Structure 1
Amino acid sequence: MTLAPRIYATIQHLFMKGIIETVELRDKPESEEDGKRTYLLTADGKPKYALRMDTPENVAMSEQLYKAYPDSPLLPKLLYADPVKGYMVQPYVDGTAGESREARGSKKAWLPLLVTELLNRYETDEAGGKWGRLTEPCSSWSEFNERELSKARENLGGLQPAEDCERVALLLEPLAEAGGKYLLHGHTDARNLVFRSKELVGVIEPRPTAGPVLYDLVQAFCSTPDDLSLEVLFEAYAQLTSQTVDQERLVQEALLRVYCTMGVRAAEGSAELDEYIAAWQFWRMLLPEA
């Protein structure tokens, strides 16, 4: 069966089960990445549902996340997940992705809201020995951090002094003890945050991860090059109910994530890379001496 007939059959199935109302399918996927396609289903010309076609493993992991936190106002509700995990359908989150400063506004406003409306609802996930991405699990949080730093080292080769990476690597040992393990969204990049009138209204495109709550907080903090200040970080952390680390540990976590995010932006060829490099000049002064 070709993809188009499969999608139309899926829509008909969802309608017959009473999960969705009468809709139209936009001609092309709204987004497409690594085999994942998200289609918008419209009613009266307006987006109403998001139909996500993905691998069974990714659908199963995302379903687990959405079922774990049904009360978070920032996570779209799960209307239906295919029993064989080929797709899932959710209400469309109306708004603009936080790719631009004009859309997302001040980090001092949206980062604390992310904490109170999502991160503070996280629950411990001590079952099994998995850490990191649930689709690419690690045996420990330390191994996950090592993987992330290795990618950054490769991506930043020639762009940043090798000494900086060596000094960042010194943080791996103090960051090895993660503390509690939680089921995380895992992809709280500002590009996956949805805003209306500069107010945070949704968090989409998860990469379910087993790790400390601090990861999602600092990942969101580091996901844009603006407002990368200690003040913004500390104010957001103050809203976290599970405050398990001191400021020194919080800064260590931020140092690792800022460096790794800079590596991701380098690999993407992002226009934001120069801003990250400029911001890094402050953060690198906080690194331990090699």
Structure 2
Amino acid sequence: MTQQKVAPVKTVSGNMPPTYDEASGGCPAYVYVDPEHGTFHWDDKNVRRVFVRKVYAILMLQLLTTLGIVATFTFCMPVKFFIQTHPGIYSLSYMFFFISYITLACCGDIRRKFPWNFILLTIFTLSMSCMLGFISSYYNTKSVLLCLSITAMVCLCVTLFSFQSKVDFTSCDGLMFMVCMVLLFSGIIMSFTVPFGYVPWMHAVYGGVGALAFTLFLAFDTQLLMGNKQYAMSPEEYVFATLSLYLDIVYLFSFLLQIFGGHSE
């Protein structure tokens, strides 16, 4: 995530394009290599369009994979019975999810290096899909279909709004932090009510706060992807951009399940 105004034009000696570290100069700016004039910058519409197409192409593959696994775990009764009687699958999936997510989020060199970035992203997607499918298997099929439909409509509306709106969500980092704190403290309060049993209205309120939070994060990350606001995401970070959008959508779906989901009998 970088400021749009810091994009100095430098001269590249020789015919070799600059490395990522040389191009970023300590603050990864928009870099685009011009072989004729030996200059580079990333504030280029063609580069940004290619970046956006790449991110959404990977994201669509992730979402289709997740949809297929969730549908299998929810609608196929033998699979549903198997995973509910083997909860260790969830723990194993969580372990792979945690390792792959920490590696992609914290190790920038690995995140930008092919093919390791795609291998880790595949592991992350499969493990997250299995976790989500495991959770969805405990809800009835109508609730899962309803939440999938709502998630798809919300994502479409938020994406179109973020593309067209003049409101700069990337400059609202203070607001996003406050939303995170509200979500955190709501989760802490919820944890104290677990020993006293299921409280429907409290879970619904918590689900509503979470759904609102990740709807805002989806708008925030979409505008970072577009790069036409105060802050933008580097085109080198297509894996991280995909990761952010995918998590926003998945968490939005999981919180909607808490609001509208009816547990299986």
Larger Rg: 2
TM-score under structure 1 normalisation? 0.25
TM-score under structure 2 normalisation? 0.26
Higher strand share: 1
RCO higher in structure (CA 8 A, sep ≥6): 2
